Structure 1
Amino acid sequence: MTLATTNFDWVRQLVHRESAIVLQPGKEYLVEARLLPIARSMGLADVGKLVDAVRSRPDPDSTRRIVEALTTNETSWFRDGDPFTALTSTVLPSLVAARGPNEPLKIWSAACSSGQEPYTIAMLLEDALPSAATRVAITATDLSREMVERTRAGRFTQLEVNRGLPAPMLVRHFTRAGNEWEVAPALKRMVTASECNLAAPALPPMGPFDVVYLRNVLIYFDLSTKQAILRRVRAVMRPDGWLFLGAAETTLGVDDSWERVVIGRSSAYRPLKGA
């Protein structure tokens, strides 16, 4: 069944109001696919019936489920590779040299999805920094409550660990938990997960961060929202901090208060002094 234009427009407006994510015309198929499981769980025949029900009797839980279903949770271990190589080859040595030997290192994995990104960072730092267990604090946030809960649990299916996790790291940092794999307790202690809407008027109190991974997020927002998010991110970073964006994202032409730094085949961004 094709979603009626009025219902699709209502979903678009709801998602934009709650998350600032822009659903372009032509994404009806995505809305159908993502919302059909919710409709069926509520005993409704199709997505049109779901939208009609929520429009006539709105409640916070139903609207939250719709918005969360339409946020993209695509992720994998070491996604795109280069930003993580840059962390250990360049960023970490720079931070260790600039900080005192016991000064905490704070990293933010924004839009962490089900946890692969923050735990990738945790594994790399555990292997590269002898004091990582006591020195590194990784804040993992996501709009989706379900994704935050999954990150806290730190449990992954065999299919999920097969997506980019090297076998030696699986053996070193995970244990079997029934049919799943569970992150080692030392890594879990490094990661704190919580809900965060990046497009909200203000971020929750956190930071200041030495490194921020804000990858494959800005592409879903309009220009003014991208600018606002980058301003808020800069406000919770250390003056000499490092920002990693997705391969298709840049601050150039969006916010000129960042300096682009090429690291091997990757790029990072640093706050411009005095900006």
Structure 2
Amino acid sequence: MTPAEFDFLRQFLKIRSGLVLSNEKQYLVESRLLPVARKAGLASIALLIGKLRDPREQKLADEVVEAMTTNESFFFRDKTPFDHLKDVMLPAMLEKRATQRKIRIWCAAASTGQEPYSIAMCLKEMGARLSGWRIEIIGTDISNDVLDRAKAGTYSQFEVQRGLPIQMLLKYFTQRGDTWEISSSLKQMVQWRKLNLLDNFSTLGTFDIVFCRNVLIYFDQPTKVDVLNRISKMVTPDGYLVLGAAETVVGLTDAFQSLPDRRGLYMPAGKAGDKRAPLAGTPRLAAFGGSAA
């Protein structure tokens, strides 16, 4: 691949997906895109680029973006955000939404579905406390392939061993040969939609909780700022934003501020001092055992 070809692909991927590639990623690009080129009957990256210059080749353009997107995910990943969910966010929502009895949760860059399904399991574990409540979980991703896998809810033995407590596996999954399929009751809790975070996503509506983890790290600073500011318009005034362990709003936007001693958990600016963590004597949600890898 020539420097000019690599520069074209870097610009193409940044415009299409926000992905920023450093100079040392050329080998990665070649290894991931050569199979895409061959599948399309093209013998080289150069011929693939020639096709990508044609605005009519939208399907091929989508396949290139999907091939370069990192889809790393596992159940209850990093554990801490799910501790925040059951110890802080859900107890607060039970109190704050007692009249509406409705909670909306968005998982951006949901990949193959482990994060939304982990959230669904947390909600299921609340049992009767959510009886009569309307719960909406929206999982979005840029890739059709991973969304199809998420909708199917079928995972390998390796995938269910990564972070999923054995009690949860036995309770919410059915073994089918070498794979495990998540229960229909959990599947029904999650809606799936294709979404590019660079596009307008305001049509999704407002959310009480937004998980946007481990995707901002692939964007440059202006893109991070833009995405965070647009998300801020979709989080309810007393809602929450959850970022990945290596991500922050500091230096990017004043729309959110962190909760003291709650790594990765943010709320709309001016609200961090509100007493929205469980009040004294409020029972925390029952722990469900296990920890993420």
The aligned amino acid for 1:27 is K
Residues 132, 17 of structure 1: CA spacing in aligned structure 2 closer, same or farther, 3 A cutoff? farther
- SS of the residue 2:125 aligns to: helix
State the aligned residue count: 270
Residue-by-residue CA offset, 1:148-169 (whole Å, 9 max, x unaligned): 2221111112221122211111
The aligned amino acid for 2:18 is A
1:145 matched residue in structure 2: 144
Residues 18, 206 of structure 1: CA spacing in aligned structure 2 closer, same or farther, 3 A cutoff? same
Whole-Å Cα distance in 2 between the matches of residues 92 and 129 of structure 1?
13
Does structure 1 retain, via aligned residues, the 8 Å contact 2:174–2:183?
A: yes
Whole-Å Cα distance in 1 between the matches of residues 64 and 224 of structure 2?
23
Deviation at 1:99, TM superposition (A): 1.1
Q: 1 or 2 for the larger relative contact order (CA 8 Å, sep ≥6)? A: 2
Whole-Å Cα distance in 2 between the matches of residues 29 and 51 of structure 1?
16
Within the candidate set 259, 264, 267, 1:267 is matched to 264
Within the candidate set 85, 89, 108, 1:91 is matched to 89
- SS of the residue 2:201 aligns to: coil
1:1-275 maps to which residues of 2 (within 5 A)? 3-55=1-53, 59-100=57-98, 103-130=101-128, 131=130, 135-200=134-199, 202-263=200-261, 266-273=263-270
Give the structure-2-normalised TM-score.
0.86
Deviation at 1:134, TM superposition (A): 5.2
Does structure 1 retain, via aligned residues, the 8 Å contact 2:244–2:264?
A: no
The aligned amino acid for 2:72 is E
- SS of the residue 2:23 aligns to: coil
Does structure 2 retain, via aligned residues, the 8 Å contact 1:240–1:271?
A: yes
Residues 263, 189 of structure 1: CA spacing in aligned structure 2 closer, same or farther, 3 A cutoff? farther
Whole-Å Cα distance in 1 between the matches of residues 42 and 115 of structure 2?
35
2:288 matched residue in structure 1: none
Does structure 2 retain, via aligned residues, the 8 Å contact 1:110–1:142?
A: yes
Q: Gapped runs of 5+ residues in structure 2?
A: 272-293
Whole-Å Cα distance in 1 between the matches of residues 131 and 48 of structure 2?
47
- SS of the residue 2:162 aligns to: coil
Deviation at 1:101, TM superposition (A): 5.6
Does structure 2 retain, via aligned residues, the 8 Å contact 1:227–1:254?
A: yes
Whole-Å Cα distance in 2 between the matches of residues 6 and 198 of structure 1?
27
Residues 220, 57 of structure 1: CA spacing in aligned structure 2 closer, same or farther, 3 A cutoff? closer
Whole-Å Cα distance in 2 between the matches of residues 61 and 166 of structure 1?
39
Deviation at 1:136, TM superposition (A): 1.7
Residue-by-residue CA offset, 1:149-202 (whole Å, 9 max, x unaligned): 2211111122211222111111111112343211111111110000111112x2
Residue-by-residue CA offset, 1:91-127 (whole Å, 9 max, x unaligned): 1111111112661111100000110110011111111
RMSD: 2.0
Deviation at 1:86, TM superposition (A): 0.9
- SS of the residue 1:205 aligns to: helix
Deviation at 1:214, TM superposition (A): 0.5
Does structure 2 retain, via aligned residues, the 8 Å contact 1:126–1:133?
A: no
Tell which deviates more after alignment, 31-40 or 187-196: 31-40
The aligned amino acid for 1:208 is T
Whole-Å Cα distance in 2 between the matches of residues 179 and 49 of structure 1?
39
Deviation at 1:25, TM superposition (A): 1.5
Whole-Å Cα distance in 1 between the matches of residues 156 and 2 of structure 2?
36
Tell which deviates more after alignment, 151-160 or 187-196: 151-160
Give the structure-1-normalised TM-score.
0.91
Whole-Å Cα distance in 1 between the matches of residues 24 and 229 of structure 2?
31
Residues 217, 140 of structure 1: CA spacing in aligned structure 2 closer, same or farther, 3 A cutoff? same
Tell which deviates more after alignment, 170-179 or 35-44: 35-44
